[in-house]
Structure 1
């Protein structure tokens, strides 16, 4: 007698502030798709925005299963997909780029002009037992990969996009504004470029101390920076990762004349703008990052596989799927002791 297929659980956010845990048939992959058994999924500030209803219009579609940061193992593939993927540990890109528009054809898949579509926001995400998605988005991992740590490869890919845009060179003076998940991952990748100095600025001394263990050479609070402003505004590259009201403005003030600034934080309306006079007179190069291209994903996965990137130290909480509400609360608590929160299906 054939046993019934296992039930699949998933978190569904029907509308802001309303979620439920549902159970139903395990999803089956269609042609060109793969099914992944989710090992772990990270909860980030974007998920909190989705839950609170503050995510920008057009960048979420309710009802939805959140979860854009995840890792797992391929356990089934659809027609036309390499069966050798079954059993492979994996992560996957979130953006569902069209691969046909001008931006996709030049390799900038995160700038796809066919409309925003992303796992965990407009398509079912990883806060579930299983996830089905296009197999072309998969980035298989080595057999010995730590899937717990690999759940952070999505923010690592965003960081990789920022580092590729900033093009750090050995011996440069580099600063990172913010010591959250993005900031600490940035520190790890920038350390691999052998900077002469790697400063981290964050109001939380505890997070600054953690940055020092991951490769930063100096950690200061904004108040400490203000007391010595004339001494420190001379960085070749500044990577902003916090998305706080003043951090884009302040990051530009840290850069030397002719320096480079990369903005990765998600800013909300009302953030302090960049001074156009300073921008022009100092001849700064300013880039922004939203999501990650396929190239950035490949870079992050290679760095992780080579041991240059170790996200495990950022994880502070691991909760079962049933405690989604508690996990979201932790992310929005403001507690400096809360780092990356994982859900474990």
Structure 2
């Protein structure tokens, strides 16, 4: 890359991408430009590439990349120039800020329409990213920016944990031990549960979960013997049956928080079971500012160790390989990062 140029991975339409170069974007009023350090590739990015993301939640052509970290390298008009040089992450939702949901702090429920970095607005699979300065969550000068690229999924998990309100001494289960599940395990271990179960069909993620605070692990079939045991169940997998199974794991009067995003055709939750067991079921899509603040605070204090989840770091030019890894089903593939 020559001086003065910036590269971006452009997905022109499902199944078609190319690396484009051009002048670095210029931040407008109230905006900053970030030099991207690393950007995570997740199942949602694979959906964008495959064309399976729900209508209205992607706009082609698009530069993907919603999980990222970097350093502010330019400030637009009206932005404090002291931000330049700061390490940072940032929220993805481009909420309106004035509707009733935004005014209550629930920006992920903005009623003005869906806009999100990497899906409808240019994302971080690029050398530079422009976004409103108000979406930044600044990090300490000594922060590990590679690890910080996982703070977007950590913020989603933080939203789930804030919704779940775990109490010390509770029995807790996490269904799914992918990126979200392992981050949830770390968050929930910090709440001093009496028991913390991780459920996943893969041996390697279960071993990681045990190292991150899970007191017990089980495959899905083993977990059927634990029906009705848990005060709190956090579902992170988004597999066809995990929402239903999570509700079955919860005790009568228990709490379930769903964070996974299943495809069409997933098994439904039995409404009779919900009513008779008097379960409280919540769901999370994205993360509001409070969850981002919680995640960055936990990261800064060392309660989250996201670097341990990274298995692959690839250059922007290897976007196709990265997408292939994420969709491979290989249990040895954890978090894949693109590093401009």
Give the TM-score range, shorter chain. Answer: over 0.9
Question: What's 1:70 paired with?
Answer: 68
- Separation in 2 of the partners of 1:317 and 1:177? 24
Question: What's 2:156 paired with?
Answer: 158
Question: What's 1:245 paired with?
Answer: 240
Residue from 253, 256, 259 that aligns with 2:251:
256
- Separation in 2 of the partners of 1:205 and 1:161? 27
Residue from 4, 7, 10 that aligns with 1:6:
4
What's the CA shift for 1:267? 1.1
Query: Is the contact made by 2:228 and 2:252 (CA closer than 8 Å) also made in structure 1?
Result: no
Query: Is the contact made by 2:326 and 2:333 (CA closer than 8 Å) also made in structure 1?
Result: yes
Query: Is the contact made by 1:43 and 1:328 (CA closer than 8 Å) also made in structure 2?
Result: yes
Residue from 178, 181, 187 that aligns with 2:179:
181
- Separation in 1 of the partners of 2:146 and 2:234? 26
Q: Counterpart of 2:302 in 1: which secondary structure?
A: coil
- Separation in 2 of the partners of 1:205 and 1:166? 27
Question: What's 1:207 paired with?
Answer: 205
Question: What's 1:51 paired with?
Answer: 49
Question: What's 2:290 paired with?
Answer: 295
- Separation in 2 of the partners of 1:69 and 1:314? 14
Structure-to-structure mapping, 1:213-228, within 5 angstroms: 213-226=211-224, 228=225
- Separation in 1 of the partners of 2:104 and 2:70? 30
Paired residues, what number? 339
Structure-to-structure mapping, 1:23-34, within 5 angstroms: 23-34=21-32
When the two chains are superposed, the root-mean-square deviation of aligned CA atoms in Å is 0.8
Q: Counterpart of 1:183 in 2: which secondary structure?
A: helix
Query: Is the contact made by 1:181 and 1:339 (CA closer than 8 Å) also made in structure 2?
Result: yes
Question: What's 2:315 paired with?
Answer: 320
What's the CA shift for 1:5? 5.2
Question: What's 1:339 paired with?
Answer: 334
What's the CA shift for 1:310? 1.1
What's the CA shift for 1:287? 0.1
Query: Is the contact made by 1:5 and 1:26 (CA closer than 8 Å) also made in structure 2?
Result: no
Q: Counterpart of 2:321 in 1: which secondary structure?
A: helix
- Separation in 1 of the partners of 2:57 and 2:98? 21
Q: Counterpart of 2:268 in 1: which secondary structure?
A: coil
Q: Say whether residues 1:330 and 2:328 are aligned partners.
A: no
Residue from 251, 266, 269 that aligns with 2:261:
266
- Separation in 2 of the partners of 1:275 and 1:113? 29
Map Cα deviations across residues 19-51 of structure 1 (whole Å, 9 max, x no partner). Answer: 000000011111100000000000000000000
What's the CA shift for 1:233? 2.3
Give the TM-score of the pair, scaled to structure 2. Answer: 0.99
What's the CA shift for 1:6? 1.5
- Separation in 1 of the partners of 2:251 and 2:188? 18
- Separation in 1 of the partners of 2:95 and 2:262? 23
- Separation in 2 of the partners of 1:141 and 1:233? 41
Q: Give unmatched runs, 5+ long, in structure 2.
A: none
Residue from 112, 115, 130 that aligns with 2:113:
115
Q: Give unmatched runs, 5+ long, in structure 1.
A: none
Give the TM-score of the pair, scaled to structure 1. Answer: 0.97
